Amino acid sequence: MTQRSVMKAVADRLETGWNSAPIIGANTRKAVTPPDGSPYVLVHYPYNTARQLTFGAPGANVWREEGGIRFVLNVRRGAGLDQGFQWAEEIARLFRGKEFDGVQTFAPTSPVIDDDNDDGAYFVMSFVVPYQFDLIG
């Protein structure tokens, strides 16, 4: 389970550092494709694991969550790759090797380009930024 603190830290970082397209959050009123077909970005947390790092201090041990932040870029189909790659580079730069609000991020993967990118009116590119987050408990 991705910690709420991680999701908030990522959302805050995107809100203050990137404004090239709307970010559509999960389970919100904005969680539908824009009716005008305009580009947008989704943020997913597809995997994570947690493990105990320290022992012997009940209630004060360190637990480490490791996972991935998946950015799904939805750009206009047929418009070429420039916009999607530009957005991917901007977001990757914002998260590559950073520490913020207790979250540490690492090297992003490259956006996936294959036969599955076409989705209706959109060309969908995604990539993942690995992260870790320590909590006390």
Domain limits, the chain = 4-136
For 38-99, give the secondary structure using H, E and C. Answer: CCEEEEEEEEEEEEECCCCCCCCCEEEEEEEEEEEEEEECCCCCHHHHHHHHHHHHHHCCCE
In CATH, what number does 4-136 get? 3.30.2000.10
Q: What is the pLDDT of residues 3-37, one digit of tens each?
A: 999 999 999 999 999 999 988 876 665 656 777 88
Residue 29 confidence (pLDDT):
59
Residue 1 confidence (pLDDT):
73
Given a cut of 80, whether residue 130 has pLDDT beyond it is: yes
**pLDDT-derived band at 42, boundaries 50, 70, 90:** very high
